Amino acid sequence: MTTEMNTAIANTTNMQYVSHHHHNQSDTNVYGFWVYIMSDCILFACLFATFAVLHNNTYGGPSAKELFSLPFVFVETMALLTSSFTCGLMMLALHHNKRKLAFITLALTFLLGASFVFMELKEFHSLVAEGHDWQRSAFLSSFFTLVGTHGLHVSLGLLWLIVLAIQLGIHGINNTTMTKMRTFSLFWHFLDIIWILLFTIVYLVEFI
């Protein structure tokens, strides 16, 4: 009887240790990703500051108001913001262990994010085709660098989402996949916040 009790206590202690160790590891991963987010904030702050200094240096070329289509960029913005909403729905589905719904909202998030990137590339292509590339002026150089850096982050996020979808399909909903999804959600919402600032400073202000 004593041996059985000792074995049960040892198993319980071991399970508690494993659970505590995994919890600490998850916290460490999320904390490490917050550090990355802070470094990205510094990167984008530098790019915003550069754009603010150079946005009037058109070198005799067209200004932002003459180049950009606000309705087009608004649709692009709504695609990304809606993807943030579906990303939140994906996390709710995961928390409620609804795997099928999680896959549906994941797919919607991917499609909306891909639509955003497609529209951004279309805008870039139109500008370059009209002779307004990044070499045309300091304004356009700062524009392509700022918007392109954000677009690159979104593109990498889409690749990350594909990997997460594969892992979710193989391993299902567990602590590891939940931590990875939570980290992705943090990254995706961060990109939405950056885009809201970018849309306001680069596009909207020029039309007010």
Q: What are the tokens at 186?
A: 């943090």
Whole-number pLDDT of residue 113: 97
pLDDT for residue 3: 53
Q: Which residue has the tokens 């996949």?
A: 177
**Helix, strand, coil share of the chain (percent; to 5):** 85, 0, 15
Instruction: Flag whether 159 is in a domain.
Output: yes
Does 19 reside within a domain?
no
% of the chain exceeding 90 in pLDDT: 67
With a CB cutoff of 8 Å and minimum separation 6, the contacts of 89 are: 101, 105
Single-letter amino acid, residue 83: S
Which token pair is 114? 């891909």
What is the arithmetic mean of pLDDT over 143-157? 97
**CB contact at 8 A, 140 and 63:** no
| pLDDT mean over 138-159 | 96
Domain count, the chain: 1
Scan for tokens 């917050």, then name that residue.
34
- CATH number, domain of 128, equals 1.20.120.80
The answer to whether position 13 is within a domain reads no
The pLDDT confidence band at residue 90, using thresholds 50, 70 and 90, is very high
- Which residues neighbour 101 within 8 Å (Cβ) at sequence distance 6 or greater? 89, 93
Across the range 67-74, mean pLDDT stands at 92
| End-to-end alpha carbon distance in the chain | 81
Q: How confident is the model at residue 133 (pLDDT cuts 50, 70, 90)?
A: confident
Would 126 be classed as within a structural domain?
yes
In this prediction, residues 114-126 reach a mean pLDDT of 96
* Cα 82 off chain centre by: 12
Rounded Cα distance, 199 and 159, in Å:
24
In a domain, residue 67? The reply is: yes
Residue at 11 is within a domain: no
**Is the distance from CB of 51 to CB of 138 less than 8 angstroms?**
no
Which segments within 41-192 are labelled E, that is strand?
none
Q: Exposed, middle or buried by CB within 10 Å (0-12, 13-18, 19+), for 186?
A: middle
The chain-wide mean pLDDT, for the chain, equals 87
Does the residue 22 lie in any domain? no
Of 60-64, 66-70, 74-78, 165-169, the range with the lowest mean pLDDT is: 60-64
pLDDT digits (tens, 9 = 90+) for 152-192: 999 999 999 999 999 999 989 998 899 999 999 999 999 99
Structural domain contains residue 4: no
Expressed as residue numbers, the domain containing 83 is 30-207
Q: Which residue has the tokens 């995961």?
A: 94
Q: Tell me the pLDDT tens digit for each residue of 3-31.
A: 554 444 444 444 443 344 444 555 666 77
